[in-house]
Amino acid sequence: MRRVLVTGASRGIGRAIATAFAAHGDRVAVHYASARADAEQTLSVLTGTGHVLVGGDLGDPVAARQVVESAVRDLGGIDVLVNNAAVAPGADNRHPIATTPYEQWHSTWRRMLEVDLLGAADVTHGVVTHLIERGAPGSIVNVGSRGAYRGEPDYPAYGAAKAALHAFGQSMAVALAPYDIAVTSVAPGFISTDRQQAKLDGPDGAEVMSQSPFGRVGTPEEVAAAVLHLSSPEARWSSGAVLDLNGASYLR
């Protein structure tokens, strides 16, 4: 039984990841920023006992530290960290450079970088400090994006933050190997979360599904399965890897 902190676990990919760890017999700290009701729903579907909720805006460095402290206290420690929390692309934060006013451009970049990159870095620092103080091995899995490689012309801050998250994970893999802490990342393509269902059901849905030769998009459960494997002792030699999860929709 491991103690697992999953950030951004109130719905979508994060909920699927929390569910997979719980089904594996692990205890999970379900993190949320503001959607407590959604996080409580995640908690209610987890198998097993001993799971907890931890809230906090990871764009705030003080809150990020408190999230780790709360998870350590309530779980009795952390063995696995999944950095999944992110400000995801949406209609309210679209920012193509040619048509976005400077003030909106600046605020969108700041917010995405604060949560998607700096928040993950701050939580990682807290968990790593805890693991080193315990003298314990651990695993960290970062949830990046295909957009880090393919480009995100309408959401450049998101693509840049995810590319930086991948690079951060590789730096940490080298830095933390002497402490027996493995660090990997996944780079999902388009995933059929609740948030994306409207696009899949709309006029662009067929084009999105045609991006993959499988003729569909990925599922949160497929991402969760990969994260669960990469966090396992059997995948330790994968430390430093970034695993593409995009159904051959983008090859590099």
SS3 state of residue 27:
strand
- Is the torsion defined by CA of 149, 197, 110, 68 positive or negative? negative
Catalytic entry in 32, 149, 155, 158: 158
Please name the residue ranges forming H helices in the chain: 12-23, 36-45, 61-75, 102-112, 120-134, 147-150, 156-176, 197-201, 205-210, 220-230
Looking at residue 29, the DSSP 8-state letter turns out to be E
Contact at 8 Å (CB) between 59 and 115? yes
Q: Which two three-digit tokens encode residue 229?
A: 């494997």
HSE at residue 187, side-chain half, CA atoms within 13 A, is 25
- CA atoms of 30 and 17, how far apart (whole Å): 10
Whether 158 is a known active-site residue: answer yes
- Supply the residues annotated as catalytic: 158
